[in-house]
Structure 1
Amino acid sequence: MEVRRLGPEDTEAFVKVRLEGLQTDPDAFGATWEEEIRRPMAEWQERLSQGPEGDSGYFGAFVAGELVGIIGFFRQRGLKARHKASVVSMYVREAHRGTGVATVLMQEELAYLRQRGDIDQVQLSVVTTNHSAVRFYEKMGFLPYGLEKRALKSGERYLDEMHMYLLLHD
């Protein structure tokens, strides 16, 4: 398995995996397949361009040259919140779940954020009914700090989200 930062050259593979995740596990994401399918390719490429300061981006896990998992991050922009980053869009294709792909993706992203030296805290949100994801994040060291009732609405159903954090430096 190879894990690396994704760039604009990975756009086609990234879009395929991202859209698959939105169809396979729609409750796990704040975006919908219907929204994302309409996004222009140039916007997807911009997402993967990493920006001049590397304050956002995605990592991908490749097995035999195929993208099988993704994880993203973005750094908060405000001066008083720039010490925090958020984990977003984590997804591992079904055939590769339980193989350690998610762990390696998270470890790589956290190592990148830790190595920067200017990010102290990583946050994420997870739908409370996604028990395997909650357990995974706890295993990775994330702790809950809040519960947001009705954080997402899908049709007539509401989904609650648990907010979690990890301190990178003591």
Structure 2
Amino acid sequence: MNIKLLKTKEDAMKYEEIRKESLQQNPEAFGATYREHISRPNPAERIYGRFQEEGNYTYGMFNENDELVGVCTLLRQSNIKENHKAHIFAMYVTPSARKASIGKLLLQEAIAKAKEIGIVKIMLSVVTSNVPAIKLYESLGFQSYGIEVKALKDENNQYWDENHMVLFL
């Protein structure tokens, strides 16, 4: 297993595949739907563009076959009054690679980067039904600071609550 910062067009193409998988496997966990995602033009190009943005650190875990099996994005706030904060977005580990501490390793990499660049606090949101993820975040020191009721709603009018969490560095 190998973690790397995703930056290349090839990385973006691999990320695009795991992103589609994540939206199909765990649609409740993400703000975008699979249908929305695939309807946008040039998704890999858009992803590549995001990889190049200042303050965007997207990490990928690759297995021994160079397959991308997990991702995690640390996104630093860009405006002056908030650039001491960052968010964790699009955290996902493919089902076949779960229970191998990949999520923890990716988060530890993102946290180390946050410390390196002077971030004071990292925030994230997780659906309240995703107990394994919440336990992972808590094991790394994240604390809940609120529950947002009906934070997400799908095309079938099903709602999910989100647990907003923070880690002070």
- TM over 0.5, shorter chain: yes
Q: TM-score, normalised by structure 1?
A: 0.92
Residue matched to 1:44 = 47
1:165 maps to 2:159:
no
Q: SS where residue 96 of structure 2 aligns?
A: helix
Three-state SS of the structure 2 residue aligned to 1:37 is: helix
Query: Which runs of no fewer than 5 residues in structure 2 stay unpaired?
Result: none
2:92 paired residue number: 91
Gaps of at least 5 residues in structure 1 are none
Match of 2:131 in 1: 131
Distance (whole Å) between structure 2 residues aligned to residue 68 and residue 122 of structure 1: 23
Shift of 1:152: 0.6
Residue pair 1:8, 1:46 contacting (<8 A) in 2 also: no
SS at match of 1:165: strand
How many Å apart are 1:37 and its aligned residue? 1.2
Bigger helix fraction = 2
Given that 2:12 and 2:45 are in contact with CA atoms closer than 8 Å, whether structure 1 keeps it comes out as: no
Q: Does 1:15 align with 2:16?
A: yes
Q: Deviations over 1:51-107 (max 9, x none)?
A: 2x4x11310000111110000121112322111000000000011000111111000
User: Aligned residues, how many?
Assistant: 164
1:17 aligned partner, one-letter code: I
Residue deviations 1:91-149 (CA, integer Å, cap 9, x gap): 000110001111110001110111112x1000000000111111111111100011111
Structure 2 SS opposite 1:48: helix
Which residue matches 1:56?
Answer: 56
RMSD: 1.1
Q: Which runs of 4+ in 1 moved over 3 A?
A: none
| Aligned-partner Cα distance in 2 for 1:135–1:19 | 25
Tell me if structure 2 keeps the 8 A contact 1:145–1:164: yes
Percentage identity across paired residues of the two chains: 39
| 1:12 positional shift | 1.1
Opposite residue 91 of structure 1, the aligned amino acid is Y
Q: Separation in 2 of the partners of 1:48 and 1:83?
A: 20
